[in-house]
Structure 1
Amino acid sequence: MITWTDDAALLATRPFGESSVIVEVFSASHGRHAGVVRGGTSRKVAPMLQPGAQLAVTWKARLDDHLGSFSVEPVRSRAAAAMGDRLALAGLNAVCGLLVAILPEREAHPPLYARTIALLDLLGQTDVWPLAYLRWEQALLEEMGYGLDLSACAVRGVNEELIYVSPRSGRAVSREGAGEWADRMLPLPPVLAGQGEASASEIVRALGTTGYFLENRLIRSLGDKPIPPARARLIEAIARS
């Protein structure tokens, strides 16, 4: 019997048999991992199994490549923060949807896990959450090998008037460096580079640029799948905030 215990955030559930569910979690040391929770539809267990919930999980299986089963203990529920706020609910769904779509199974990503938990702990704090989410998307791209290099112009090597991002390299480009290719560049809002005002409109512009790399580089590299629609709903919620 193979077994391990870890801290984890619940990402998704789906029915399995008459009374059980298959859950997917993002765990600190074992990455995105699935397993069966026996009796997961019961009145005692079901309230624990809400997206974003922080759990102590123990996974067991006869062989490492088996689906296995989870036993779970609640650590922290984030349902109240999410259900009471439209932006928080949209954000929670976007985070969980992206992690399910992007993370490889059973591959640990400790820095991203820590960043994800910190972000989920901010749910309901509308004044800081959109910017924290933008930084999380940047960290997600970095962790998956598609990080943006916004330190200097990819063409001229200078760090002045950086107003574009190259859609091919993910590197910053200056006004002069873009030249006749300016209309093919992505915008580089100052907030994306850690500068300027973090207004809702600027964050939405920045998410348009990170979204290009999520959809056209990262997710496309994983096969024929769309970017989770929950992300578009989050951007709409931020624009209205």
Structure 2
Amino acid sequence: MHLDTPAIIVALLSHGEHGAVVRFLTPDHGLVAGYVRGGRSRRLRPVLQAGNEVALSLRARVDTQLAAATVELTRARAALATTAQALAVLDWLTALTATALAQEVPHPALYRTLDAIIDGIAAGAGPLALGEAIVRYEHLLLAELGFGLDLTRCAATGTTDDLVFVSPRSRQAVSAAAGAPYAARLLPLPALLRGGPVDAEGVRAGLTLTGHFLGADVLAGRGTDISVARDRAVARIVAAIAAPPA
């Protein structure tokens, strides 16, 4: 392996006394990992933070060997997540990326979207925007992994109007009329995923929707830590958007 690319740091694990194994999301090669010598040093600790963008060089003699990685910081963004909800969202989305994606499978749309979200976090995005970011990223990730939702027409009637539910079984939208008798068994379809406005109710509904399918299709069997990270991010977003303006 011989790779030079921009990358977003998404996970770090200490290795030995001084090094670190770091996972990176790249625009053209997907998720890659490398060993950073001195990754726990005073010089590199501020660089190797989830959310930072780096110029990454990976070198390995054989494909089965963990590559040696060198990094140069290009955008320091992790330290700009200054609110509890921003930090929780950054932790969750980078952890989800590192956990859910297979190694070296390109996901350029995920890279672009995560990069834009982290830019928003660094610029001080508010809780409503952060909640929308979680919903849209999770919705995209489901589609990228082959678990996409069909939100274009009603599963029962084929109509494209008044779609307000999603069937957990068919993964398709359901209209208000067709879904009314089964509303307790259906999931809410937020307007923001249909090109509608972004509001607190829609963000809460979106988090419920994508959370259901992530739990069933992506996070099952992954351990509790990853679910705890999502629960923390969602709880802080929901509390923040419910709080009265200062």
TM-score, length-scaled by structure 1 = 0.92
CA distance in 2 between partners of 1:21 and 1:230 (Å) = 22
Name 2:97's counterpart in structure 1.
99
Contact residue 98 and residue 228 of structure 1 kept, 8 A: no
Stretches of 4+ moved more than 6 A in 1? none
Amino acid at match of 1:178: G
Residue-pair matches, total: 236
CA distance in 1 between partners of 2:105 and 2:164 (Å) = 36
Structure 1 residues 182 and 128: CA distance shift in structure 2, 3 A: closer
Structure 1 residues 239 and 110: CA distance shift in structure 2, 3 A: same
CA distance in 1 between partners of 2:8 and 2:60 (Å) = 20
Amino acid at match of 1:130: G
1:228 is aligned to 2:227: yes
Name 1:122's counterpart in structure 2.
120
Identical amino acids, percent of aligned pairs: 37
CA distance in 1 between partners of 2:31 and 2:202 (Å) = 32
Shift of 1:112: 1.2
1:46-65 to 2 correspondence within 5 Å?
Answer: 46-65=45-64
Shift of 1:224: 5.0
The alignment yields a C-alpha RMSD, in angstroms, of 1.6
1:24-63 to 2 correspondence within 5 Å?
Answer: 24-63=23-62
Name 1:73's counterpart in structure 2.
72
Contact residue 94 and residue 228 of structure 1 kept, 8 A: no
Partner residue of 2:106 out of 105, 108, 119:
108
Shift of 1:16: 0.9
Shift of 1:78: 1.1
Contact residue 97 and residue 228 of structure 1 kept, 8 A: no
Consecutive unaligned residues of structure 1, counting only runs of 5 or more, are none
Shift of 1:177: 2.0
- Corresponding residue SS for 2:102: coil
CA distance in 2 between partners of 1:37 and 1:224 (Å) = 26
Consecutive unaligned residues of structure 2, counting only runs of 5 or more, are 241-246
Shift of 1:120: 0.9
Amino acid at match of 1:156: T
Contact residue 200 and residue 238 of structure 1 kept, 8 A: no
Name 2:244's counterpart in structure 1.
none
Could you give the per-residue CA deviations for residues 89-122 of structure 1, whole angstroms, max 9, x where no partner exists? 0110110111112101121111111111111110
CA distance in 2 between partners of 1:135 and 1:73 (Å) = 30
Shift of 1:179: 5.5
Could you give the per-residue CA deviations for residues 70-105 of structure 1, whole angstroms, max 9, x where no partner exists? 0000011112221x1111101101101111121011
- Corresponding residue SS for 1:125: coil
- Corresponding residue SS for 2:69: strand
CA distance in 1 between partners of 2:10 and 2:113 (Å) = 15
1:211 is aligned to 2:211: yes
CA distance in 2 between partners of 1:238 and 1:54 (Å) = 25
Name 1:147's counterpart in structure 2.
148
CA distance in 2 between partners of 1:225 and 1:39 (Å) = 29
Name 1:86's counterpart in structure 2.
84
